Structure 1
Amino acid sequence: MAFFTQDTNVRKLSLSNPVHFLALGFGSGLATKAPGTFGTLAAIPLYLVLNQFSLSVYLIVTLIVSIVGIYICDKASKDMGVHDHGAIVWDEVAGLLITMIAAPAGWIWLLIGFALFRFFDIIKPWPIKWLDSKVSGGFGIMIDDVVAGVFALICLQMIYAFT
């Protein structure tokens, strides 16, 4: 069993293309199993770097990641000829960064944030599932993970507030 996908649609993308490289979450989206989880894991080093800066810098970069993600995901999706292919994981990168906005310091909080984001991204409670099925293009690829990130952010902050 190969670790990297052999999907013919993914072969239409190139890691040497900066847009494809980002859409594939620095290559993490090529995992054959759970590419969304690997994409979320790939976001952790970015989070750790951004977390060293002020909250305003963190928010600006997260906003840029999310807005530019609309183009990145749309372009990769069109280049593949498949809407929201599992290998496109830039939306997971944005989702984790949103989840971790103003998160408490410490690995336990990163682990909780990671688990909460993956929970909402996989389970897709309303309106996430509705957005996932009804909104198309790059915005559609991004918006369900943005909302999952917001849900996870709220839960993470509530857990912290009540501990």
Structure 2
Amino acid sequence: MFTSDRLALLVSGLGPIGRMPGARGTWGSAAAVLVAPLCFLPLPIALRFVVLAIIFYIGAKAASRTEIVLGCKDPGHVVIDELVGQWLTFLPLAAPTTFELVAGFFLFRAFDILKPPPVRASENWLPGGYGVMIDDVLAGVYAAVCLLVLIWLRA
């Protein structure tokens, strides 16, 4: 295996998370929630958009290579898409509470698993790793909207 293949597996799997047993997407989302308050949420909103765009691009490239290396479409090993979708869920929040982080986690997981229209169809809108990433972006948008409504209802 080439070094670039190993790097693609490492990046797309968020290190060891992509190899964890069971529901890897849930592990990836949980990791994203745990690190968000440390390295994503403190950033100004404009920089958050830039960070998400960069991670989306790098994740799509790594996921494309991972599909080739592992020989299957959207392999379970790829969890960088969960990072992008989960962080997108928290994008509009300045300083989310623990309740909001937990609620955002469950909302994102629900939309990522259930894939309401057009989330499921979006996987085929773009080729390779971009298709892997885009459905989680849409699930994150759905989750963000629902989280904002939930916060508003609790106020």
TM-score tier, shorter chain, comes to 0.7 to 0.9
How far is the alpha carbon of 1:132 from its aligned partner?
Answer: 2.9
User: What's the C-alpha RMSD, in Å, of the aligned pairs?
Assistant: 2.0
Match of residue 139 from structure 1 = 130
Structure 1 CA distance for aligned equivalents of residues 54 and 125 of structure 2: 24
Question: What stretches of structure 2 of length at least 5 have no aligned partner?
Answer: none
How far is the alpha carbon of 1:133 from its aligned partner?
Answer: 5.3
Match of residue 72 from structure 1 = 62
Question: What stretches of structure 1 of length at least 5 have no aligned partner?
Answer: 1-11
C-alpha change, 1:13 and 1:30, in structure 2 (3 Å) is: farther
How far is the alpha carbon of 1:130 from its aligned partner?
Answer: 1.6
Asked if 1:46 corresponds to 2:35, the answer is yes
Asked if 1:35 corresponds to 2:24, the answer is yes
SS in 2 for 1:32: coil
Give the structure-2-normalised TM-score.
0.88
Structure 2 CA distance for aligned equivalents of residues 35 and 55 of structure 1: 28
How far is the alpha carbon of 1:46 from its aligned partner?
Answer: 3.4
Alignment of 1:93-112 (within 5 A): 93-103=83-93, 104-112=95-103
Structure 2 CA distance for aligned equivalents of residues 134 and 59 of structure 1: 22
Structure 2 CA distance for aligned equivalents of residues 133 and 70 of structure 1: 14
Q: 1:61-81: CA deviations, max 9, x gaps?
A: 112111222111111111111
AA aligned opposite 2:65: K
Pick the aligned partner of 2:50 from 36, 60, 71.
Answer: 60
SS in 1 for 2:144: helix
Q: 1:51-70: CA deviations, max 9, x gaps?
A: 11211222211121112221
Pick the aligned partner of 2:113 from 112, 122, 128.
Answer: 122
Contact 1:26/1:42, CA 8 A, preserved across alignment: no
Structure 1 CA distance for aligned equivalents of residues 126 and 53 of structure 2: 20
SS in 1 for 2:112: helix
How far is the alpha carbon of 1:32 from its aligned partner?
Answer: 2.1
Structure 2 CA distance for aligned equivalents of residues 65 and 135 of structure 1: 17
Relative contact order, higher structure (CA 8 A, sep 6+):
2
Asked if 1:155 corresponds to 2:146, the answer is yes
Structure 2 CA distance for aligned equivalents of residues 134 and 94 of structure 1: 18
